[in-house]
Amino acid sequence: MKSTLVVVLCVAVVVLANRLPESEKVKLAIAHAECQADPKTRCDENLLRNLGANANNAQVGIHMLCMSQKEGLQKANGELDRDFIRKAIELVSDDKSKVDEHLQRCAVKKESPEKTAVDLVLCFVQNGIPYYYKL
């Protein structure tokens, strides 16, 4: 019985981890590489791996804004692209009825474009929306 439960849980984790289509994973990886290649937007990946603890780090914010703009989540002026964010959430959502709820919760303009970018990804992580680059 225990082994069956373990197998079911492992399968569930793999299925959830694979909700992001390969083409989107590649797009996010390219955005990350481009942001890391620019000395102005480069960030220590150890800081990014622990985003929650480093959410107020200036360089983390700069990098996350770069990522968010390259991914299409934020426009060049830093404003959120709510239409794109909705599509991103729909792409990875198991429960389409919660897309609007997630959009309202996560697509929130903060005091700066950098803070907006960081908080958007943190909200995605906290709400099981796997539309972000995983190091």
Q: Are residues 55 and 119 in contact, defined by beta-carbon separation less than 8 angstroms? A: yes
Per-residue model confidence (pLDDT) at position 94: 87
- pLDDT averages per 10-residue partition of the chain, 135 residues: 38 51 95 98 96 97 98 97 97 92 97 98 96 90
Per-residue model confidence (pLDDT) at position 19: 83
Assigned fold of 22-127 = Recoverin; domain 1 (1.10.238)
The rounded distance, in Å, linking the Cα atoms of 31 and 66 is: 8
Per-residue model confidence (pLDDT) at position 18: 52
At residue 114, the 3 state secondary structure works out as helix
Query: What is this structure's pTM?
Result: 0.84
Per-residue model confidence (pLDDT) at position 83: 97
Cα 25 to the chain's mean position, in Å? 11
